[in-house]
């Protein structure tokens, strides 16, 4: 689950790594950063940075908005 070199998405969206998509899916399931870190085999702090980065990329205000915008854009 930690493969970061593969990108996902089309040219209308910023390229997302496999980890980005995995984190988005796990956030959508309502998991905590700690739980996501355990499942993705990365640190909780990396999960937090990924979520903040994704929120910036998609213009989301919070985690719920991030999930909504990811779904609207077909990213998850």
What is the domain extent for residue 49?
Answer: 15-72
**Cβ contact 51:33 at 8 Å:** yes
**Cβ contact 15:58 at 8 Å:** no
Assess if residue 31 is contained within a domain.
Answer: yes
Assess if residue 54 is contained within a domain.
Answer: yes
Assess if residue 10 is contained within a domain.
Answer: no
What gap in Å lies between CA 7 and CA 66, rounded to an integer? 19
For residue 15, what pLDDT is reported? 80
Which CATH number belongs to the domain containing residue 31 in this structure? 1.10.10.10
**What is residue 8's DSSP assignment?**
E
For residue 50, what pLDDT is reported? 95
Model confidence over 28-71: pLDDT tens digits?
Answer: 999 999 999 999 999 999 999 999 999 999 999 999 999 999 99
What gap in Å lies between CA 22 and CA 24, rounded to an integer? 5
What SS3 state is found at 18? helix
Assess if residue 37 is contained within a domain.
Answer: yes
Assess if residue 6 is contained within a domain.
Answer: no
């Amino acid at each position: 689950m930690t493969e970061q070199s593969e990108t996902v998405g089309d040219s209308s969206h910023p390229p997302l790594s496999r980890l980005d998509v995995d984190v988005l899916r796990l956030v959508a399931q309502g998991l905590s950063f700690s739980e996501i870190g355990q499942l993705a085999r990365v640190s909780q702090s990396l999960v937090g940075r990924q979520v903040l980065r994704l929120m910036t990329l998609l213009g989301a205000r919070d985690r719920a908005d991030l999930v909504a915008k990811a779904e609207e854009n077909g990213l998850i």
